[in-house]
Amino acid sequence: MKRINRLIALCLISIFMVFAASCSGKYPVEPKFAIEPKYSAVDDFSEGMARIKIRNKKGFIDTTGKVVIKPTFDGAGKFSDGLAMIIVDKKRGYIDKTGKIVIEPKFDAAWPFSEGLANVKVDGKYGFVDKTGKYAIEPLIQGTRDFHEGLARAASKGKWGYIDKSGNVDVMPKYYNASDFSEGFAAVTPDNKKWGYINKKGMMLITPKYDEAREFSDGFAAVRVGKKWGFIDDVGNFIVEPTYKEVKNFSEGLCPVMISEGGVKKWGFIDKKGKLKIENSYNNVDVFREGLALVKVVEKYGYINKKGEYVIAPQFKSAGPFFEGLAAATIDGLKWGFIENPLK
């Protein structure tokens, strides 16, 4: 009973916070739909295009809402490097921004282009193609991931290493698991127990001593020690001690953290000194993008700024983060459109 009363109290506090913010003057503002909600599913904007779904077929709209590629594909990915993956009769290929198929659907699996190459799968093996569809790296590898900072993860005999864009092995496959390179570092585990960080030459710069480790973002990396998360800098010093039940990545100077009080878990935001800058009063949050963070209060989604003010009060059944000035949002959970970023 006490826990139920506590939950009710927290919900009332969250609702009061929204009301108080609405009386503060400038914010919140009424959201403006740049693209009216009429699609059964959408994806975030990337390179000026967003995927839409109509009658189980995928196509693309531009930032004005104009359908520039009709929904005729069984599946589609986001645009990157000017191309998007599409699915036709269970095979994957690529189209350009006019909808023209530039790489014929012939792959069993395929992923978005990254740094000029796309990861593809053929007959159970992985390789990479360039934007003309020519193999830059033949599909002969046990497992691969996208290129990041010039290197891609590649597996051999169950262990992970890294290859360059010519397929040369830069870091020998000797790790049980590994992450993509980010800010010059990659998290790896040599024994499937503890994680550390290597550089692009394969040198272990931060000794494996963490139970879990994530990629560097905004100069910091989230690491788990036991059941608690904290943050280290690029020499392995704790900037934020492991005190949080869950965290996300730093973005635009702030990071979402989960704080459990009396059995109730709520999200807030800390700065790079570990100071709680936005109180833990949200059911869920996303990282800051374009000056705003998506937050969930009870069962509705809205957006806050870095002061913790509601710029758009929680009112959506579901919503996404802002990309290229637009965010996917649905009022009823059935039809999706895109709202404008009020800060732009």
Counting residues of the chain whose pLDDT is more than 90, the rounded percentage is 91
Q: State residue 24's pLDDT score.
A: 53
First-to-final CA distance of the chain: 46
What is the rounded distance in angstroms from the CA atom of residue 334 to the CA atom of residue 33?
Answer: 16
By the 8 A CB rule, do 171 and 151 touch?
Answer: yes
More confident residue, 15 or 224: 224
Q: Which two tokens stand for residue 323?
A: 């990309």
Into which CATH architecture does domain 183-244 fall?
A: Beta Barrel (2.40)
What is the rounded distance in angstroms from the CA atom of residue 161 to the CA atom of residue 202?
Answer: 9
**Could you read off the pLDDT of 71-89 as tens digits, one per residue?**
999 999 999 999 999 999 9
* pTM confidence score: 0.90
Q: State residue 263's pLDDT score.
A: 86
Once rounded to an integer, what is the mean pLDDT over residues 14-39?
75
Give residue limits of the domains in the chain: 1-30+246-344, 183-244
pLDDT at 324 over 60: yes
Q: State residue 315's pLDDT score.
A: 98
What is the rounded distance in angstroms from the CA atom of residue 85 to the CA atom of residue 88?
Answer: 10
pLDDT at 6 over 80: no
Q: Which two tokens stand for residue 33?
A: 């739909």
